[in-house]
Amino acid sequence: MDNEAKLRPLCLAKILYEQTDEDHFLTTAQLIQVLEEQYGIKSHRQTIKAEIELLKQFGLEIEEVKSTQNRYNLFGRRFDTPELRLLIDAVESSKFITAGKSKELVEKISSLASNHVAASLKRNVSCEGRIKPGNERIYLIIDAINEAINTNKQISFQYFQYNVRKEKKIKRNGEPYAITPLHLVWNGDCYYMVGVYEYKQRLGSFRVDRIAKCPVILEKEGTPAPEGFDIDKYINTTFHMFNSEHEEVELICDNDVMDSIIDRFGEDVTTYANDMTSFRVVVNIAVSHVFYSWVFGFGGKVKIKGPENVKEKYAEMLRAAVTGSE
């Protein structure tokens, strides 16, 4: 068998994959023409028919419309167009994927469709003006964290924050963190690593795009997670992954904010009737300024009933926010 004969079914599959879909067909004559123009491979009607049958036996879902000029298309694909659209929307909206990588990923995702569908997908893409990070190492960072999770190893890394001059400053005077990563979590448009501190043996969360460079995977075995740790509960009760002590807090909520309470704490959250216009909910949450800002955002429709120390801390925050405003 010569090389042309070996390559013909592969090239034919590639042509069908790229140039046909549910709405676009190629005739036998067009397939013969494309094979010769793009790959320099000569063919004829019977050869095309035989190769199509071979590809069908291999598992490709190829539709054949019989007529004076038989038409073919590849209609079975791993991803439907709406699924590709969802993936592209996720990439576009992600704040942890850089602008350059976003464009690259959109190209790769679009290539899973035919050229016709890919063109329509990319026409609707716009990353301009969106807030995107500048940390191009983020994919190496994620890969290292994943490897440490899979091998139960600790990692060492530096973590930065911005100062008032918008300069990146390494926290803890450059001293690296030693953490056992447990999970990578998407929360509030950002990507976080949840892990256990080596020396404190408590949970912490870190923005992946704020890790200064690729973490070093240590030889040390990982520190086990606290007993009873549940990542879903941790996400639901930690506001924007801000680390703080958990407390049981009772809230009084207007009836019309039930959707928001379920969005925040899940459908399994236990609620109690308070009166005709409100309900009570008791949740174990990480009490922090992020939690207080969440409460404030409801404009009085969510109130903190207790405990007293949480109510007083909220009042202190409100007083501090308006200090000097008179």
> For the segment 236-267, what is each residue's pLDDT rounded down to a tens digit?
777 666 666 788 999 999 999 998 888 888 88
Within the chain, which residue ranges are assigned CATH 2.30.30? Answer: 138-229
Does the structural domain 138-229 have CATH classification 2.30.30?
yes
Band (198; pLDDT cuts 50, 70, 90): confident
Residue 270 has pLDDT above 90, yes or no: no
Q: What is the mean pLDDT of residues 162-166?
A: 76
Q: Of 174, 173, 171, 176, nearest to 160 (Cα)?
A: 171
28 or 232: whose pLDDT is higher?
28
Q: Specify the fold of 235-322.
A: Alpha-Beta Plaits (3.30.70)
Indicate the range of 114-128, 246-260, 266-280 predicted with least confidence.
114-128
Least reliable range by pLDDT among 85-99, 121-135, 178-192, 281-295 = 121-135
Q: What is the pLDDT of residue 100?
A: 82
pLDDT at 325: 47
Q: What's the pTM value of the predicted model, to 2 decimals?
A: 0.62
Q: Are 15 and 26 in contact (CB under 8 A)?
A: yes
Between 160 and 326, the more confident residue is 160
Cα distances (Å, whole numbers) of residue 20 to 59, 69, 87, 115: 17, 16, 21, 8
Paired tokens of 39: 């790959």
CATH number of 3-74: 1.10.10.10
Specify the pLDDT at position 304.
94
The string of pLDDT tens digits covering residues 76-97 is: 888 998 899 889 888 887 777 8
Q: What is the DSSP string of 29-52?
A: HHHHHHHHHHH-----HHHHHHHH
pLDDT of 139:
81
DSSP-derived letter for residue 21 is B
Is the pLDDT higher at 155 or at 319?
Answer: 155
Lookup: tokens for 9: 């079914």
With residue 272 as reference, give the H or E element that holds it: strand 271-273
Q: Give the confidence band of 2 by pLDDT, cuts at 50, 70, 90.
A: confident
Which residues in the chain are classed under CATH 3.30.70?
235-322
As beta bridge partners, residue 273 has 279
Tokens standing for residue 200: 């404190």
**Please, what is the average pLDDT of the chain?**
87
What's the CA gap between 65 and 73, in Å, rounded? 9
CA distance 46 to 51: 9
Is the CB of residue 77 less than 8 Å from the CB of residue 116?
no
The total number of residues shown for the chain amounts to 326
Q: From residue 273, give the alpha-carbon distance in Å to each of 30, 261, 295, 301.
A: 70, 14, 19, 15
Rounded distance between C-alpha atoms, residue 50 and residue 28, angstroms: 12
> Which residues have a Cβ under 8 Å from the Cβ of 41 and sit 6 or more positions away?
4, 7, 8, 11, 35
- Which is more confident, 129 or 147? 147
The pLDDT-based confidence of 124 (bands split at 50, 70, 90) is: low
With cut-offs at 50, 70 and 90, classify the pLDDT of residue 131: low
Query: How many angstroms separate the CA atoms of 113 and 83, rounded?
Result: 11
Residues 6+ apart with CB under 8 A from 301: 253, 254, 256, 257
Answer whether residue 299 shows pLDDT above 50. yes
What is the helix, strand, coil percentage profile of the chain, to 5?
45, 25, 30
CB within 8 A of 312, min separation 6: which ones? none
Intervals of CATH 1.10.10.10 along the chain? 3-74
Q: How far apart are CA 252 and CA 303, in angstroms?
A: 5
- Residue in 132, 220, 141, 228 with CA at minimum distance from that of residue 184: 141
State the CB neighbour count (10 A cutoff) for residue 1. Answer: 5
N- to C-terminal Cα separation, the chain = 90
Interatomic CA distance for residues 204 and 12, integer angstroms: 53
